[in-house]
Amino acid sequence: MTPFEDDLRRELRSLTDNPPPMNSLHEPVIRRARTARIRTIAALSIAATALVATAAFAWPTPGAGPAPIPAAPSASPSALAYAHQLYVHCGIRYANFEGRWWQAVHLGEVPMPGQITNYLVGTMTLVDADHATFRSEHPALSADFIPFVGEPPPCQ
Partner 1 sequence: MGGNDRDFSDFVTGAGPALLKSARLLTGDWHLGEDLVQTALVQVYRRWSRHEEWDSPLAYTRATMINTFCTWRRRRWHREVATATPVPPASPDTADRVAASDALARALDRLDRRQRAVIVLRYFDELSVAETAAVLRCPPGTVTSIASRALEKLRREATLELEDRR
Residues that bind partner 1 (CB under 8 A): 4-5, 7-9, 11-16, 18-20, 22, 24-26, 28-30, 32-33, 36-37
* Residue nearer to partner 1 on the CB measure, 29 or 127: 29
* Shortest distance, position 44 Cβ to partner 1, whole Å: 15
* Residue nearer to partner 1 on the CB measure, 17 or 128: 17
* Shortest distance, position 25 Cβ to partner 1, whole Å: 5
DSSP the chain: --HHHHHHHHHHHHHTSSPPP---SHHHHHHHHHHHHHHHHHHHHHHHHHHHHHHHHHS--TT-SPPPPSS--SS--TT-EEEEEEE-TTSEEEEEETTEEEEEEEEEPPSSTTT--SEEEEEEEEEETTEEEEEEETTEEEEEEEE--SPPPPP-
* Residue nearer to partner 1 on the CB measure, 28 or 111: 28
